[in-house]
Structure 1
């Protein structure tokens, strides 16, 4: 009987041994990263690089700006890469959260697009322009219009709203929409200010924008970032994600993929 029990024990050990080894051999750390739309084109090569370093990067795609920070706060993802610093600062203030930047990614100047006119000189009295409706990007859109002399706003260096427009000679009408919807509104309005990622998703050509943001010192708040919860800001795996992103190979891929519409921003010098 004792020999039989010993035999069963050895058999069980032989059966479970390969499973134990497999578990030990599969020691990759999983990092879930929230991205917007089709950013896979930039992140997939980075994912392959990280796999060689023992990190399984899982890309989680979101459809609008209201989602990735909430998912991060709820620990559904470990980090996200979709927002600029100004957007994050406003989010933290509004939601009493402590999400922090751990690295710069790209700068994406916003632009004014139209299916109906080919120059801002063609704008007529009473024309309608759609804008992103989140506080930072709405302010950014109005600043763009003010820079080109279409309107004047109070505190042009802050984040104005449509209520801050005090000089509007063409009596332009503004329709604030979710940022993901401004490109889709182009058939219904004279023009729309569209964030670059959504412009590209809608097959709009940033080089053909009626007007576009200038890249200068004032662009700093709009540099996009990789962000995580403050408690994870020193996480080793997340630091490796940032390092894998901020490379010459990624910069080359960004240029190839976006034809200059996205500007690598981890070493950018603004004047």
Structure 2
């Protein structure tokens, strides 16, 4: 049974049924989205989209950019073509990725609490996978700036047949780790990514970043990873719905 928590309360890391901490199983793995979840790169993508559309004589609004958050890059390229970018999809994707990589190489904009949660997961022996619609050429540099052992595998947008919101990316991640996806917690920031994780059967935590995280059955929510620790992830896995967002 799911237990919804009062979003006005500070995070209480005991179970709502008062079960002892040691009775809560750790996740078999934690499956992380990247853009907007691990790192605050969505502004980099949006700036690159504006630059590209305007270079081709079109206009691009912030609202249009927000609708792209979490999309597979091939889908984003199609939308940009409709906005007036007269380039093949591959060239559009290469341009966007190159612009974001340029920014990441200057500074990785870690989301608050992300590195601390990664460190705690390493200390407690919980493996992690990165599950992103960004291509490996961007994901590898980001992962390379985390401590060794932070991520055991990467599932990238150029390595799956079906991107988010299809469940394939999360199912592939669990398969590579050799774990049961229903015994994993996925951390996501976009409705598209949340849909993918929930469709795969993972317990899911939505972190509000650029776009609002909707209220959905079974979905836990937080305004920041700085409020999250491994015990909270165990509670989410056990069926608690932890909602720390005040709507």
Rg larger in structure: 1
Same-fold status (TM-score > 0.5): no
TM-score by length of 1: 0.28
